[in-house]
Amino acid sequence: MAASLALYGGSPFFSYPYKPILNQAIGSGYERAYAHFRRDHQDPANLAIHLGCLVLQLGANFSLLAEIDDAITDKAPLVSVSTALLWGKALVMDSSAPAAVKAMSVASLLLAFKYRKAIRGRWKNLIGLQAGLEVLGFQTLVLNGGLYNEIPFSQGTFLRMLIARYLLQIGISKFFSGKLEASKTKVNVLLLAFMLKTSMDPFGKVPPFLLGLVGWMLSLLTTQRWLYFYSCGFLATVTQGVSHHLSGERATMPGLSLLADELAHSTFFPTCFSIQCTKASMASRK
């Protein structure tokens, strides 16, 4: 239970100092993680969307870590640095991937670390950029009944919902921003209770990933930047699931029956993605 909370409660594809250590202790190895990734990520369009998800996840992850650093001390980025070092070590030392792929994976972590503060300063601008992902996730998971539905995608519904989403953002930003700042402790306690409950059954009827669809609203209402970046991890995971749905490939995480495999899949995601893209690129040239 504690391991499931550590994985899903922190956003499954985010990393913290404890996660590489936890994966080394109870997680599966790289070879098994890559076998699962390779099985479910053959479609070029699916890989392309996953690239965007990787960028969103890493950027939001290290921005959240920077928020934690500032809450602890303004003298040294202890949490950000330790996460980058431990995660990078896992991608290099615990993987049998080619050296070039390892270098690509570590470079992606370093870029996210380098630009974490620049990303933090633009968080309100980023809220508008993610609107399409939220609407697509809501349309697929809520309106159409989940990843395995057979309801055809409706462009008209998507566009109407996208317009409504932007109007909602304008309304909240103009009239309600900060209205719950005085009650943010209560909001955070309720959010903690929600995450504790839903992380025990992350693919149940009420999954923790729903935070990815409403987190931006809570962050504006309570004026909590960290909450926005935290919710981005769940939005990226929702987008990955939708990508699998649209491409016709099975979603990896819900199909894994062992927590050890789930830990490994999320830990080695940058390396598995890099090597799969490399192989796909080489195959397209032949």
Q: Taking a C-beta distance cutoff of 8 angstroms, is the pair 108, 131 a contact?
A: no
Q: What are 41-60's pLDDT values in tens digits?
A: 999 999 999 999 999 999 99
Please tell me the pTM assigned to this model.
Answer: 0.95
pLDDT of residue 286: 57
| C-alpha–C-alpha distance, residues 276 and 279, integer Å | 5
Residue 7: is its pLDDT beyond 60?
yes
| C-alpha–C-alpha distance, residues 224 and 154, integer Å | 34
- How many CA atoms lie less than 13 Å away from 280 in the CB half-sphere? 16
Q: What are 144-187's pLDDT values in tens digits?
A: 888 888 888 899 999 999 999 999 999 999 999 999 999 999 99
For residue 238, what are the CA distances in angstroms to 18, 49, 52, 67, 225? Answer: 24, 12, 12, 23, 20
Q: Taking a C-beta distance cutoff of 8 angstroms, is the pair 217, 172 a contact?
A: yes
pLDDT of residue 283: 60
pLDDT of residue 161: 97
CA 152 to chain centre: 26
Nearest to 80, CA basis, from 123, 102, 109, 104: 109
Q: What are 77-132's pLDDT values in tens digits?
A: 999 999 999 999 999 999 999 999 999 999 999 999 999 999 999 999 999 999 99
Torsion region of 177: left, alpha or beta (phi above 0 gives left; psi -120 to 50 gives alpha): beta
The chain-wide mean pLDDT, for the chain, equals 94
pLDDT of residue 281: 66
User: What are the E-state strand segments in the chain?
Assistant: none
